[in-house]
Amino acid sequence: PGIYVCARCGHELFSSRAKYEHSSPWPAFTETLRGDSVAKREERPGALKVTCGKCGNGLGHEFLNDGPKRGQSRF
């Protein structure tokens, strides 16, 4: 339980309350902690490249409509 932060700068990214089990080997979240937690840019249809909102450290992707509930995204 707690807050997940950027490994490079310590910026708060995700709450453990938004974490859920997924087949991916990486942690999966339904939402960011705050609106400025991450920055996003389209990489390909259905997937956004996600970086730390403070330092730009690469965090992976947001997969649109791939969350645990219909219409949710997966980070």
Q: Look at the chain and count its residues.
A: 75
* Mean pLDDT, residues 20-25: 88
Distance separating alpha carbons of residues 51 and 58, to the nearest angstrom? 4
User: Torsion-angle region of residue 2: left (phi > 0), alpha (psi -120 to 50) or beta?
Assistant: left
Give domain status of residue 68, yes or no: no
pLDDT the model gives residue 48? 96
- The answer to the question of residue 73 being in a domain is no
Residue 32 located in a structural domain: yes
Question: Domain total for the chain?
Answer: 1
Residue-wise pLDDT for 33-55, tens only, equals: 999 999 999 999 999 999 999 99
Q: Mean per-residue pLDDT for 7-12? A: 98
**How many Å apart are CA 70 and CA 2, to the nearest integer?**
26
**Number of Cα atoms under 13 Å in the Cβ half of residue 7:** 4
Q: Could you tell me if residue 69 is inside a domain?
A: no
In the prediction, which pLDDT does 61 show? 95
CATH number of the CATH domain containing 2: 2.170.150.20
Share of the chain above pLDDT 70, in %: 100
Checking if the pLDDT of 24 tops 90, the result is no
